[in-house]
Structure 1
Amino acid sequence: MEIFDLFGENIIIEQQNEKNKQLRSEKQQIKNELHKQKRKKIKQQKYELIQTLETQEQKNEYVHSFKGLRNQKRENGIKSLQSPFKIIIDCGFEENMSDKEQRSLARQISELYTENRKIDGPLKIYVTNIYPILHKYLEQYHYKQWSLISDERLFTEIEELQLANIVYLSPDSEEELLEIKEDEIYVIGGLVDKVIIKNATLNRSRQLGVRSAKLPIGQYIKKNYKKCLNVSTAALMITGWLKYKDWSKAFDSVVPQKFKDQEAEMQ
């Protein structure tokens, strides 16, 4: 009877896992369909707006403005591969994340790539330690077509990075990063943790034997548990500093409004 119950329980668990897998697949299909509908709606809105313009010259100018933006993003993508300023997204935290958090990581990397293409001085991005599950989620964004370096290896195993001056960004580091230097490459931990894991990136830097430093945001966000920026925001803080040479202005330009709202409530 106990053996039967054991096997019966295993069958129930397998059935439940299969149902969950099917449910996730259905949810993704719905999201993809909604995305297609949104793109179609935007296209229709552009078409309707063009019809309201009086002259052909105005219509041509409107169309060229969108083509110019697309061309600029394409050029910035190519420019990023030649940039002297480099960052690494270290995706070596698979065991610390749930499936939902891993999907969120893929989305954040996609957001970073999108934002980086809009910047006049884009960063050269390395996404390393890409494991099979993350690869599956990144594939939904067609990441193999992106203008960046993606690799399944740990960044310390990549030849062109082995002699580099590496700085691993960690909110738990004792050293503050005062400036961004061309001869340094900054590592951002590819970790999405809804419940913050203390010292995760700091321990990672020690394990790999590389220097660690933290972004100087403590004076802007007072509560410790809110000092962990997500992957895309941390990277854009670097581009913000390169633009303004000022961490305060970099913070104001790229950090989500919710962080500023939280700070205002505490004052």
Structure 2
Amino acid sequence: MIGGTEGCSRSTKRYLLRRKKKKEKRKAEKLRKRVSSLRKALQSVQEGNFVSRRVLKQLTRDKLRRGLEQGVIICFDCSYESLMSPKECGKFAQQFCRAYGANRSSATPASLHLVSCSPGGPLLNACKAKCDGFERYTIVMHNTSALEAFGSEKDIVYLSPDAEQPLLSVDKSVVYVVGCLVDEHLLKGKSLAEATRHGCKALRLPLQEYAATRHMQVVNPVLAINQVVEVLLGYIQMANNWEEVIHSAVPSRLFRAKS
């Protein structure tokens, strides 16, 4: 029975039912046309033909939504914001803009989340000020930690340059946490300590292992937030090839030849 039809005559109920079915049919037809249009647009892209800006934007939005629902989860831990200056919050926002841009351009986008995120907090305000269209970003914001948000379903791994063990693979069953800190000198070891405090594993990107294959050494293991995201996205997209990913995503100035 259709809600709100109690007390209506039989003919009125039939009319309301027909109207509901027509509405559902129009909705289904609209969805069918949209899917058909997107398929044609995708085929045009694959064939190297022109695609309108409107269609391209829709394809990108759909791709990001799929990434949000099905992609590898990357969390940005905002719990450090009380330790950060306004300048550092602004620097994080700039790096997050670049990270989002890299995710938007990726063929296999990740699922991006801001965790321990305070509404009206300095980091969120900096993102709104620095990132054009931030309110429309395809991301999820949580006022809880990554452990509280995902710990019952997935393993939590903190990515820390101070961790002893390297990250060997990127897995959808794992949530990867990136600290929002941008000043590595004053707060060295903070992300590792945070992982220990929550009883979570901490891993580092395999920069040392990459350097060893090229007879080099790591000058600085600390990457910008967007560079960390680019490495993770690249690993997924480049058939799990760490060497190729690090070579393309990590600045060469972070390495030097062994003396």
Q: What TM-score results when the alignment is normalised by the length of structure 1?
A: 0.68
Task: Report whether the alignment pairs 1:139 with 2:128.
Answer: yes
Structure 2: 5+ residue stretches without partners: 1-47
Deviation digits for residues 193-234 of structure 1 (CA, Å, limit 9, x no counterpart): 05353211100101111111111012437245x111111111
The answer for the alignment partner of 2:146 in structure 1 is 155
Q: 2:196 is matched by which residue type in structure 1?
A: R
Task: Report whether the alignment pairs 1:208 with 2:198.
Answer: yes
Please state whether the residue corresponding to 1:197 is helix, strand or coil.
coil
Q: Offset at 1:70?
A: 2.9
Please state whether the residue corresponding to 1:167 is helix, strand or coil.
strand
1:40-51 equivalences under 5 Å are: none
Task: Report whether the alignment pairs 1:116 with 2:108.
Answer: no
The answer for the alignment partner of 1:247 in structure 2 is 242
Q: Offset at 1:63?
A: 7.5
Q: 1:180 is matched by which residue type in structure 2?
A: V
Whole-Å separation in 2 of the counterparts to 1:162 and 1:189: 21
Q: 1:139 is matched by which residue type in structure 2?
A: K
Whole-Å separation in 1 of the counterparts to 2:100 and 2:93: 11
CA contact (8 A) 1:83 1:122 kept: no
Q: Offset at 1:246?
A: 1.2
Distance change in 2, residues 1:136/1:188 (3 Å)? same
Q: Which has the larger radius of gyration?
A: 2
Q: Offset at 1:239?
A: 1.0
Q: 1:138 is matched by which residue type in structure 2?
A: C
Q: Offset at 1:143?
A: 2.6
Distance change in 2, residues 1:266/1:88 (3 Å)? same
Whole-Å separation in 2 of the counterparts to 1:263 and 1:66: 40
Q: 1:260 is matched by which residue type in structure 2?
A: S
CA contact (8 A) 1:127 1:149 kept: yes
Q: 1:243 is matched by which residue type in structure 2?
A: Q
- Out of 228, 235, 245, the residue aligned to residue 229 of structure 2 is 235
Please state whether the residue corresponding to 2:247 is helix, strand or coil.
helix
Deviation digits for residues 20-76 of structure 1 (CA, Å, limit 9, x no counterpart): xxxxxxxxxxxxxxxxxxxxxxxxxxxxxxxxxxxxxxxxx9974644543342222
1:23-62 equivalences under 5 Å are: none
Whole-Å separation in 2 of the counterparts to 1:199 and 1:122: 29
Deviation digits for residues 111-142 of structure 1 (CA, Å, limit 9, x no counterpart): 11121011111001111122311121122234
CA contact (8 A) 2:146 2:177 kept: no
Whole-Å separation in 1 of the counterparts to 2:102 and 2:71: 18
Cα RMSD (Å) = 2.4
The answer for the alignment partner of 2:88 in structure 1 is 101
Q: Aligned residues: percent identity? A: 23
Whole-Å separation in 1 of the counterparts to 2:223 and 2:253: 15
Distance change in 2, residues 1:215/1:262 (3 Å)? closer
CA contact (8 A) 2:217 2:256 kept: no
Whole-Å separation in 2 of the counterparts to 1:194 and 1:216: 18
Whole-Å separation in 2 of the counterparts to 1:167 and 1:240: 18
Deviation digits for residues 77-127 of structure 1 (CA, Å, limit 9, x no counterpart): 222112241111111112332210111111211211121011111001111
The answer for the alignment partner of 1:10 in structure 2 is none
Deviation digits for residues 145-195 of structure 1 (CA, Å, limit 9, x no counterpart): 21111122222232x443311111111111111111221111111111053
- Out of 169, 192, 206, the residue aligned to residue 179 of structure 1 is 169
Whole-Å separation in 1 of the counterparts to 2:235 and 2:142: 27
Task: Report whether the alignment pairs 1:260 with 2:220.
Answer: no
Q: 1:173 is matched by which residue type in structure 2?
A: A
Q: Offset at 1:238?
A: 0.9
The answer for the alignment partner of 1:129 in structure 2 is 116
Distance change in 2, residues 1:195/1:69 (3 Å)? farther
- Out of 155, 158, 162, the residue aligned to residue 165 of structure 1 is 155
Q: What TM-score results when the alignment is normalised by the length of structure 2?
A: 0.70
CA contact (8 A) 1:73 1:117 kept: yes
CA contact (8 A) 1:76 1:119 kept: no
Whole-Å separation in 1 of the counterparts to 2:73 and 2:128: 23
Please state whether the residue corresponding to 1:222 is helix, strand or coil.
strand
Which segment is superposed worse, 149-158 or 208-217?
A: 149-158
Aligned residues: 202
